[in-house]
Amino acid sequence: MENRHFKIGVIVSSLHEPCQSLMWNGIYRAAKSRNIELISFVATSQDRVDSFDMHFSVVKDFALKASLDGIILFTGTIAEYVEPGFLENFYSNLLHIPLVSLSYQIPGVPSIMPDNYTGVVHMMDHLIKRHGYKNIVFIKGPEGHSEADKRFEAYKDGLKKNNIPYNPLLVFNGTFSAKSGVRAVKELYSSALAFDAVLCVDDETAMGVISELKKRGVHIPTDVAVAGFDDIPDASIVQPSLTTVKQPLFNMGIAALEDLLAKIDGSFVEPLTILPGHPVYRRSCGCFTSSIRKSTPPRTNISKAITIEELTAVLIQKVGNILGENLKENSNNPISSSLHQLILTFGKNINELDNDNIFLNALDNFLFRISSNEYSIEAMLAVLIELQIFLNSNALPPVKLANGNTLLQQAQVFLREQEIRATQTKNIDESSFLLKIRETSQKIITTFDLERLKISILETFPALKIEQFVFAVYDTPHQLTSENFIFPEKSKIIIAYNEFGKNVLKDDDVLIDSEQLIPDLLKKSSTEDEQRGIYQLFMPLFFKKEQLGYVLFNYSENQPFFMYEELRLHIGSALKSSIMMQNLKMQSMIDELTTLYNRRGFLTLSQKMIDSAKRVGGKLLVFYADLNGLKKINDTLGHDYGDEAIVAAADILIDTFRNKDVIARMGGDEFTVIIHVGDNMEPESRILLRLHEKIEDFNRTSKKPFQLSISIGSSYFDPEKEKSLTEILKEADNRMMAKKRKYYEK
């Protein structure tokens, strides 16, 4: 099993939604560590899921055709947007493939669930016993959603456990959204109910509560406490930081992939895996964060002075544990050396403060050595606490004690400045990248031509670190919508660029089987090992309900998910605009009577063919035709029959020439045809013979009160001879007129 190359699919409702993104990241990390190919089928519009049609049927069909070894289904989040009957039918179509369900229990399918009960009970205990809140509001999730129902049950049991009666007036319906929180707060204040805390079914709802309370001038937590569930990334940075129950979302993703691989291997898999969560207490409930609590040295009696050697040994071990590094004293490890230097300079500066700031310089060096570690701030706080304990343990003279406290105060300020600068640098980098996304989106959305859209994508996407990209439109004769989607057998690839940002397509009209997704040409641009590192995001392209095609992004680590969604939405809109503009353009180039190209259409397309012949070589053959006797038909039979004769002549020309030849009505009874002369091209004489045979066949079988006759002349275009289109047409017209004169001389 270890040597096998697996191709795993993930059907996800929305990667931009915080909980799903955390679970997906768990899957991604686990897949990356095992070199597993991952294709994620994104079923909704990620930033506006409430206002766009869902595309579950589209992604399901593509997933079923993608030759996957197994599928991880985000069933719980899909359940938020669809009816139970739809959901059951949806996953029933996938049961023949190894399947694992996330956040929703499917009978007979390994399901990974969070513990939605215990953490809420603990949170209720904390709110009631630690802070003394009695009138606790609860904002629910969607009715019938198993996870939301379990959290509501835990709320009621938490009240019962603490001898507080349940009050249904303090319970509000919600939809796992910030809007739910805003709406509940408005209803609370309009009802004049007394409440001192709000517990929400999820963090998104809690964010809405915090926003609305702050608008009303309510201080959190001294006026009203707020708590959520999930611990999404924004929970720790919102003001005030949000107390919540941390879901094991990342670990759920890892567990889902492990269970799926075991199922593919034929091993036994538990039908239900429940992973525990735990409360995280922050400012919104009245607590301060663990960072603040840990920054104070413990209040213990220090029986003896701590030596520099003992301090060094303690910090080497403690910092190593925090950073996950195997640090040793007197080693050449840069972190150990810089930490040792930091301690020595602290001891020196205690004796005498200096203008060279040797301690702060050593502190700066140490921070530089550990800055790439995600626990660098925690390690630095541990160092400062131990230095404070060391200072307090020694019976120092007042001047030296004051020097030591001054150094530690300076270190705290320096550390805070570094944090602020790091945050500012990160914000600048993010703002710069967001500007690139915005500029790219602007270029795309203001493009109304498919060729220009291709150029914009190829010029801008590599700068967004999109290493591979496929853009395809469905090749179907009828319109596909989200309501009547039928899997298209063929798709036309518009762009397929490789890791070098180069479009690997050699032809503008590359058709592939839709189930193939990625063109073979793009696969061959990478080595086999590189292909195994492919993590694709499949997104349907749509405009309102109309399904147009799909895009396939190769996911780049740490890139914002909203970027892919933003680009997908704009490409869909630009594609629809280009189709509409092309239709308008075609209408302006079509002759209404015959449906052939008109003069404008012929001149436009002919010039393109000439430019192509000059660029790549080859010859063109131009025919100029005229319908004989049209004036007589109009004068004797009427203009209706004259129009019928023109249409009949046009139909004969269509039957005579190929689909790719350009046939046009130049006006009145004059027609032109331009064709590319290839190696396998039939002789001109054979074409003209076929034309006259079709005219004779019409005259023999049509039963019309007129006979058709067409005079035709021709001229060749050779790119080595500098002839203009006007000159070629004039030459063909002259030859046609010579034949026409002979016709009338008979």
pLDDT at 394: 85
- Give the confidence band of 301 by pLDDT, cuts at 50, 70, 90: low
CATH annotation of 599-745: 3.30.70.270
pLDDT of residue 658: 87
Q: Answer yes or no: is pLDDT of 486 > 80.
A: yes
Q: Judge whether 498 and 504 are in contact, CB under 8 Å.
A: yes
* More confidently predicted of 5 and 605: 605
Write down the architecture of domain 7-114 according to CATH. Answer: 3-Layer(aba) Sandwich (3.40)
Local confidence band at 707 (pLDDT 50, 70, 90 cut-offs): very high
Residue corresponding to tokens 């920054």:
295
State mean pLDDT over 123-149. Answer: 94
Fold match, 446-588 / 599-745? no
Please give the average per-residue pLDDT across 446-451, as a whole number. 86
Paired tokens of 583:
């239709």
Q: Minimum mean pLDDT among 242-251, 453-462, 532-541: which range?
A: 532-541
Q: What are phi and psi of 625, to 5 degrees?
A: -120, 150
Predicted local distance difference test score (pLDDT) of residue 710: 95
Share of the chain above pLDDT 70, in %: 92
Cβ atoms of residues 548 and 97 within 8 Å: no
CB distance 711 to 736 below 8 Å: yes
DSSP 8-class letter at 128: I
Q: How confident is the model at residue 47 (pLDDT cuts 50, 70, 90)?
A: very low
Domain boundaries, given as residue ranges, for the chain: 7-114, 118-247+276-292, 306-415, 446-588, 599-745
Query: To which CATH superfamily is domain 118-247+276-292 assigned?
Result: Response regulator (3.40.50.2300)
* Mean pLDDT, range 309-334, rounded to an integer: 85
Backbone angle region of 626, left / alpha / beta, with phi > 0 → left and psi within -120 to 50 → alpha? beta
Residue 493 CB-density burial (10 A; 0-12 exposed, 13-18 middle, 19+ buried): buried
Least-confidence region, from 156-165, 511-520, 688-697, 699-708 = 511-520
The pLDDT, as a whole number, for residue 507 is 63
User: What angle do helix axes 398-445 and 358-370 make, rounded to 10 degrees?
Assistant: 40
Residue 383, C-beta contacts closer than 8 angstroms, at least 6 positions apart: 315, 319, 339, 342, 366
- How many Å separate Cα 195 from the centre of its chain? 41
Q: Are 599 and 75 in contact (CB under 8 A)?
A: no
Mean pLDDT, range 396-416, rounded to an integer: 90
pLDDT at 134: 95
Q: Is 120 left (phi over 0), alpha (psi -120 to 50) or beta?
A: alpha
Helix (H, G, I), strand (E, B) or coil at 111: strand
Q: What Å distances lie between residue 455 and 153, 440, 540, CA to CA?
A: 56, 12, 21
Position 648 confidence tier, pLDDT thresholds 50, 70, 90: very high
Say how far apart CA 197 and CA 135 lie, in whole Å: 7
Using DSSP's 3-state secondary structure scheme, residue 67 falls into coil
What value does the mean pLDDT take over residues 496-514? 75
Reported confidence tier of residue 723, pLDDT bands at 50, 70, 90:
confident
Mean pLDDT of 279-297: 76
Which of 181-190, 317-326, 390-399, 653-662 reaches the highest mean pLDDT? 181-190
Q: State the amino acid at position 651 in one-letter form.
A: D
Of 222, 364, 335, the residue nearest 285 (C-alpha): 222
Neighbours of 330 (CB within 10 A): 10
CATH superfamily of 446-588: GAF domain (3.30.450.40)
**Angle formed by the axes of helices 376-393 and 358-370, to 10°?**
150
pLDDT band at 173 (very low <50, low <70, confident <90, very high): very high
DSSP 35: T
Confidence grade of residue 50 (pLDDT, cut at 50, 70, 90)? very low
pLDDT-derived band at 508 (thresholds 50, 70, 90) equals: low
Check: CB of residue 112 under 8 Å from CB of residue 23: no
